[in-house]
Amino acid sequence: MATRVLILTTFDLDEHVYHALRAGAAGFLLKDAGRERIVAAVESTAAGETPMSASVLASLIEDFVSRPPSSVTRPRVEDPLSVR
């Protein structure tokens, strides 16, 4: 069974999230999450899930959608007057 790592920190910095995930962390949680959430995150990490702090996940999504992958191209819009 592979070891899974859950990062538990007080630092909500994009740079820390990036480096932790690039290093293979399975999840990233802030210490202010509360005891129940932390315990649940440890259990879900062990079960193969990827728990993320809500603020971290929101930041990741915002960054992801702000720059689409290079394989995505803009749809070609035909000139409606030239299509018959």
Band the pLDDT of 83: cuts 50, 70, 90. Answer: low
Give the pLDDT score at 25: 95
**How far is 52 from 17, CA to CA, in rounded Å?**
10
Distances (CA, A) of 48 to 12, 54, 69: 23, 19, 26
φ, ψ (nearest 5 deg) of residue 58: -60, -40
Domain borders along the chain are: 6-66
Closest CA to 27 of 55, 53, 50, 58: 50
Class of domain 6-66: alpha beta
**Residue 20 confidence (pLDDT) above 60:** yes
pTM, whole model, 2 decimals?
A: 0.71
